[in-house]
Amino acid sequence: MSRRSELLSEFCVRLGMKSIWFRPVQLEDLEDHHPNTMMEHLDIRLTEIGPDYLRGTMPVDKRTHQPFGLLHGGASLVLAETLGSMASTMVINIDKQFCVGQEINANHLRSVRSGLVTGTARPYYLGKTSHVWGIEICNDKDQLVCVSRLTMAVRDNPQ
């Protein structure tokens, strides 16, 4: 987690900020939601739920490398979209609505050859029909590797 994200979290806790999640959620509640998916294939693991963020890790290894042995930018986007999509779904009442990705972009700032990268998704905007998330991805040394922005469409479940 970048120092900026860490300070923001501490600030929110000190202010007594309420959670943004629709209902209380524990990491254990989310563990069974990704068998046979990209999340399982890349070993993306959810590691922390804060009052206004969702955090997860992804290994940098042969599954996530590009041909030069570096973390593939597409793998970073998979981590970003996974965290933002899951967080967006946690904000809504899933009995009435669902979320789908609408747009994602990223800036790759630093290369990574091995270890774990950690992504943290925080909302920029939570509206009735769309959510916009900022995702910061850091390496093992807590250096910023990638910043991404994800827009999610919020739709009503078919009746």
AA identity, residue 26? Q
28, 81, 103, 136: which is the annotated catalytic residue? Answer: 81
> How is 10-60 classified by DSSP, letter by letter?
HHHHHTTPPP-SSS---HHHHGGG-TTSHHHHTT-EEEEE-SS-EEEEEEE
Task: Work out whether strand 144-156 and strand 45-49 pair parallel, antiparallel, or are unpaired.
Answer: unpaired
Nearest to 100 by CA among 92, 108, 109: 92
Q: Cα-flanking dihedrals φ and ψ of residue 64, to 5°?
A: -115, 5
Verify whether residue 81 is a known catalytic residue.
yes
- Active-site positions read 81
